Amino acid sequence: MRGKGLLGIEPLTAEEIQKILDRARFYQPLQARTGRKLDTLRGRTIIHLFYESSTRTRTSFEIAAKRLGADTVTLSAKGSSVDKGESLLDTLNTLAAMRPDAIVMRHSASGAPHFLARYLETPILNAGDGTHEHPTQALLDALTILDHKPSLAGLRVAIIGDIAHSRVARSNLHLLTKFGASVVFCGPPPLVPRELECFSPNVTRTFRMEEAITDADVIMMLRVQFERQNPHRVPSASEYFRFYGLRLEHLRAARPDAIVMHPGPINRGREISSEVADFPRSAILNQVENGIAVRMAVLDLLLAGESAKPPERPPAS
Ligand code: NCD
């Protein structure tokens, strides 16, 4: 991974993913301590360029970089020269000319970071490209599942909601199947593409929540991505909730130790009830916390390298 950036989960081997997860485990205990700042990336500069809204991913990448001692600059499309008609490639070439060590970017066009990576030497980290991939989200999801389950192999993971427009669903599909988990996708028929079933014999789809949840070890709920579809064709919150909103009674069909996940932002009363979102087996905030450890691991492996001396474990405070 060193120097190459991180564009997606699809091109990574299970071994490479495991290496990132192992390094993230190392950074996990750091999150709850005071005096968390390390100097692994001291003197490095990371630019965060967000062409789409973000709360979790952007903050978490920034905190991860800062906890490793890097300097960070954050730009959103609003307020930058993108407003003045500059092309994506010209903006990226301009930023690359300032010699950052990496550019973290989110863009609404699927493939935007892959296109740029062909022209720029600066490593690019994909923080979400259109409906395509969101690699660090799938990595933090895997880390969160492994906090609760001994292994991904053999797990049944139900991914429910707007699958068609979800980069989170796609990156999770790649990661989970590389590690031998089975995935069942569920949602309203127009939002669950038929092609997904051709991906692997371990991938199925259903339009019935009860069927998806039966015996599930992990239930991952997804938001309806209004910004990527005709808003007039999206059902009302109450109509959607009636058929595809996760409620406490659904959980009876899942395994007794099943966990509930959601990449956020959550819409209570649309895809998830408040009781489930705040339920003791809801791992939603653990996902957020693990996001920092995973992004520290990715930045460390990318910029400091695998051969770099593992950072000193900071003393417990
Ligand atoms: C997701 C995204 O932006 O793809 N959120 C996230 O990064 N945590 C999912 C979403 O927006 O629904």
pLDDT tens by residue, 164-221 = 999 999 999 999 999 999 999 999 999 999 999 999 999 999 999 999 999 999 999 9
Among protein residues, the one whose CA lies closest to atom 8 of ligand 1: 263
Euclidean distance between CA atoms 131 and 110, whole angstroms: 6
Select the more confidently predicted residue: 32 or 79: 32
Enumerate residues 6+ apart whose C-beta is below 8 A from 152. Answer: 142, 145, 146, 176, 179, 180, 181
Mean pLDDT value of segment 21-48? 94
Phi, psi of 312 (to 5 degrees): -60, 135
Cα(168) to ligand 1 centroid in Å equals: 7
Ligand 1 pocket: which of 57, 168, 261, 284 to mutate (most atoms within 8 A of CB)? 168
Predicted confidence at residue 317, as pLDDT, reads: 44
Mean pLDDT value of segment 158-169? 97
With a cut of 70, say whether residue 311 has pLDDT above it.
no
Which residues carry out catalysis? 56-57, 84, 106, 134
Predicted confidence at residue 50, as pLDDT, reads: 95
What CATH code is assigned to 135-287? 3.40.50.1370
Mean pLDDT value of segment 125-145? 98
Q: Does residue 167's CB lie within 6 angstroms of at least one atom of ligand 1?
A: yes
Which pTM was predicted? 0.95
C-beta separation of 120 from 154 below 8 A: no
Q: Does residue 131's CB lie within 6 angstroms of at least one atom of ligand 1?
A: no
Q: Does residue 168's CB lie within 6 angstroms of at least one atom of ligand 1?
A: yes
The 10s digit of each residue's pLDDT in 240-290 is 999 999 999 999 999 999 999 999 999 999 999 999 999 999 999 999 999
- Per-residue three-class SS string for 234-293: CCCHHHHHHHHCECHHHHHHCCCCCEEECCCCCCECCCECHHHHCCCCECHHHHHHHHHH
What CATH code is assigned to 14-133+291-303? 3.40.50.1370
Domain ranges of the chain: 14-133+291-303, 135-287
Euclidean distance between CA atoms 130 and 57, whole angstroms: 14
Predicted confidence at residue 21, as pLDDT, reads: 98
Quote the mean pLDDT of the chain: 93
Of 133, 141, 197, which Cα lies nearest the Cα of 170?
133
Q: Which residues pair with 221 in a beta bridge?
A: 160
The one-character DSSP state at 133 is: B
- Tell me if domain 14-133+291-303 and domain 135-287 are identical in fold: yes
Q: Report the nearest atom of ligand 1 relative to the CA of 223.
A: 12
